[in-house]
Amino acid sequence: MPMFKQIVKALAFVHNKEMAHRDLKADNIIYDHKTGKVKLIDFGFACSAKEKLKVFCGTPSYMSPEIVGKHEYFGQAVDIWASGVTLFYMLVGVMPFKATNERELFKRIQKGHFTVPTRVALSEEVKDLMKQLLCID
């Protein structure tokens, strides 16, 4: 099974338990080369998904527009955003939102505009999936 599909299935498992990970990122995904299986790790920011949150947490490059804008958010929604950042990173090799400082990074995240470098050939389906996952609305 493709790696990203396994990540999504693992995230769906967490979400079906009415939880949110809130720190999904490449560093918190383990790939077992022997079995070909993916595991999510580091549930230090995990919480119940039943209510809106206002806690500022996570890794800056993976934070959703709601978190960086200091608005209330649902934990599962920020997991979906982080999965989009993770997919982009896995396929392109760089982060979708880059800046020289956190303030500028957060502005770019809030705008939600990213571009795939021309050197990277991705199918229209994959580009569309990334646009859906990294949608600011």
Mean pLDDT across 5-31: 97
The question of whether 42 is a catalytic residue gets the answer no
Domain residue spans of the chain: 3-133
pLDDT of residue 78: 96
Q: What is the pLDDT of residues 114-134, one digit of tens each?
A: 999 889 999 999 999 999 999
Assign residue 7 a region (left: φ > 0; alpha: ψ between -120 and 50; beta: otherwise): alpha
**Two structure tokens written together for 111:** 């705008």
**Contacts (Cβ under 8 Å, ≥6 apart) of 86:** 4, 7, 24, 25, 26, 29, 62
Reference 94, options 115, 66, 109; nearest CA is: 115
Task: List the one residue out of 2, 130, 23, 6 whose CA is nearest residue 75.
Answer: 23
Per-residue pLDDT tens over the stretch 76-126:
999 999 999 999 999 999 999 999 999 999 999 999 999 998 899 999 999
Query: What's the mean per-residue pLDDT of the chain?
Result: 95
Residue 1 has a pLDDT of 66
Pick left, alpha or beta for residue 65 (phi over 0 → left; psi -120 to 50 → alpha; otherwise beta): alpha
Four-way CATH pick for 3-133: 3.40.50.300, 1.20.140.150, 3.90.550.10, 1.10.510.10: 1.10.510.10
Catalytic residue among 23, 32, 128, 137: 23
The string of pLDDT tens digits covering residues 51-75 is 999 999 989 999 999 999 999 999 9
Return the pLDDT at 126. Answer: 95
